[in-house]
Amino acid sequence: MFQARRRTGVLGALLAVALSAAAAVAVPPEARAAGTLSMRGADVSTLQRAVDLGAKYYTSAGAVADPLDILRSAGVNYLRLRVWNNPRSGYNNAARVLAYARTVKAKGFKLLIDFHYSDTWADPGVQTKPAAWSSHGISALTTDVYDYTYGLCTALKAQGTTPDSVQIGNEINVGMLWNDGKVVNNDFTNLSLLLKSGYNATKACNSSTQVVIHTANSDSDAHARWFYDGIRAKGVVWDITALSYYCNWHGTTANMTAVVADMISRYGKPAILAETAAPFTLNNADGTGNSINTACPGYAATWAGQGAAFTAVQNAAKAGGAVGVFYWEPTWTAVPGNGWDPANIASSGDGWDNMAVFNWTNVFNGTMKWIS
């Protein structure tokens, strides 16, 4: 996630040739008996930089505390860290992830590593190759993915912070490492080679690390089936199916429940929401405009509304049979110098300051609870 450009009509146009009108998907009776959210997650990829800049975080009662401890007290047991290959910011690269993984594991959290395979944001609208791989064709890219994935995974393992899960790509609705790994004319061949390479590298590093394949397709069962059917037909295997759900872009929670239930039934794998969030205000804390400027339907953009919206999403995911929900960037408040642009991190702002679970003085929203 980051840029609002991602949820545009472009994705629909790309998929239109591949999709027929989707019938509504009924939630299976067995899915309606909500299970347990064992992966209660938060993506804290910008937190390391915020702390390095001296940011302080506060409990809902106003006491200074470690933000990871605050999140744990709210129910979080799993943290997600993105990794970019060679970002100009010097953050979210392998070295920084290795360092922060020690903090994550020392506090008893499980760890999900989110490989973007890019030097910057990768999402449904852009999947730019790292500069070092820019001239590489599909054969070389397959090796690149294997070597990079295996290298970071084994480095994490060597320091005692073996990842519990890894994502092979981030929101890869129509592929990754464009244009070589992009799905064109419904041809999943190249993408399947990259995904198999990432899977094999992960399992070679640690056979019990779960491989996650993540799209933002909670909006449409037809879109989700098109993607996961496409990779399955090419022999891709994975351990967890992951979707993003943002109320502003992906429709109703009832629809999301149905998509989650169908993913579990169709592919026989656990499913999670790897990203979700809701606003606590529509105001803006800095010079960079907010990525989201509307409240979730039925929920006010207030602290109480944010907490209620997040609870509703978790319950809807559980109703579909999901085993986990991750909140995207709950600690990304408007700390000067912690901007969204890795090419200009010191001067760019934060478009997510109204979506964090800490307010503009870094006080925690006490209505936010991660439920099991």
| Alpha carbon distance 230, 181 (integer Å) | 13
Positive or negative, the Cα torsion across 90, 91, 94, 95?
Answer: positive
- Give the ranges where the chain is alpha helix by DSSP (H): 9-16, 29-32, 47-52, 67-73, 94-106, 138-158, 189-205, 221-233, 253-267, 303-319
DSSP annotation of 46: T
Per-residue exposure over 202-212, b if at least 16 CB sit within 10 Å of its own CB, e if not: bbebbeebbbb
Give residue 310's identity as a one-letter amino acid code: F
Check if 30 is active-site: no
Check if 171 is active-site: yes
Catalytic residue among 275, 329, 350, 353: 275
Residue 109's DSSP bridge partners are none
| Alpha carbon distance 257, 216 (integer Å) | 14
Catalytic residue among 171, 180, 219, 221: 171
| Alpha carbon distance 232, 238 (integer Å) | 9
Query: Rounded to 5 degrees, what angle do the CA atoms 111, 182, 90 make?
Result: 45
23 Cβ contact partners less than 8 Å away, ≥ 6 residues apart: none
Longest pairwise C-alpha distance within the chain: 55
By annotation, the residues acting in catalysis are 171, 275
